[in-house]
Chains A and B, each alone.
Chain A
């Protein structure tokens, strides 16, 4: 149980285009979903926290117009990188906590974004 999927697992796009990453909780309802960015050999950096039906809360320094987060249901959150540029290339990870288990986060497998 407690499986989180991400799609796509990797994506390559041209500079200036937008890319959408989906995060789904497959077998549970997620109270909250978290989006992280991870640079090579570095720790996870929290970008934003989202709750179903409300606006995401962004961490300081994260551009909300660049990284659009939508949390339309209790099982789906999306991250859209708008007008992507090479510096947006990174590994993006989502996680979710369940209504029944709020004290643990379940992680998706991550999405590798490469912007050419």
Chain B
């Protein structure tokens, strides 16, 4: 079975600090996709960043970057220079071979002014 685990239910940091959200997963597939989604209070799911497993280079999108460790099955999200608008639930997800997303439990991130 494919699983995604987020072990941090809630985190809070001061504005402008850097924060890292953890995610581990399990799959027997050799090629797969991993995602981080943001769900702000509006509850609209927003794609933050995606990583293709066959690409060794870590994905980066502006202030958001991942540390993808394929052997360790780890996929953490780093948010640099955090902003108040980054306050949200963050979900890690794995795309299964049938195109279904396997979701982590989520991490509630609070950015304090």
> Which residues of chain A are near B33, meaning CB under 8 Å?
103-104
Instruction: Please pick, from B43, B95, B99, B105, the residue contacting A91 in the complex, using a CB distance under 8 A.
Output: B43
Check A107 against B99 for contact (C-beta < 8 Å): no
> Which residues of chain B are near A41, meaning CB under 8 Å?
89, 106, 108
> Which residues of chain A are near B101, meaning CB under 8 Å?
34, 44, 46, 105
Check A44 against B103 for contact (C-beta < 8 Å): yes
**A55 nearest CB across to chain B (Å):** 16
**B83 nearest CB across to chain A (Å):** 22
Docked complex Cα distance between A103 and B44 (Å): 19
**A57 nearest CB across to chain B (Å):** 9
Identify the interface centre among B42, B50, B98, B99: most chain A CB within 10 Å of its CB.
B99
A to B contact number (C-beta, < 8 Å):
44
Number of interface residues of A (CB under 8 A): 20
Identify the interface centre among B43, B98, B105: most chain A CB within 10 Å of its CB.
B43
Instruction: Please pick, from A38, A44, A103, the residue contacting B99 in the complex, using a CB distance under 8 A.
Output: A103
B residues near A (Cβ < 8 Å) are 33, 35, 42-45, 47, 50, 89, 91, 95, 98-101, 103-106, 108
A residues near B (Cβ < 8 Å) are 32, 34, 38, 41-44, 46, 49, 91, 93, 95, 97, 102-105, 107, 109-110
Beyond the given A43-B91, A44-B45, could you list 17 further A-B residue pairs with CB under 8 A, ordered by the A residue number? A34-B100, A34-B101, A38-B43, A41-B89, A41-B106, A41-B108, A43-B106, A44-B101, A49-B98, A49-B100, A93-B45, A97-B99, A103-B33, A105-B99, A107-B44, A109-B42, A110-B44
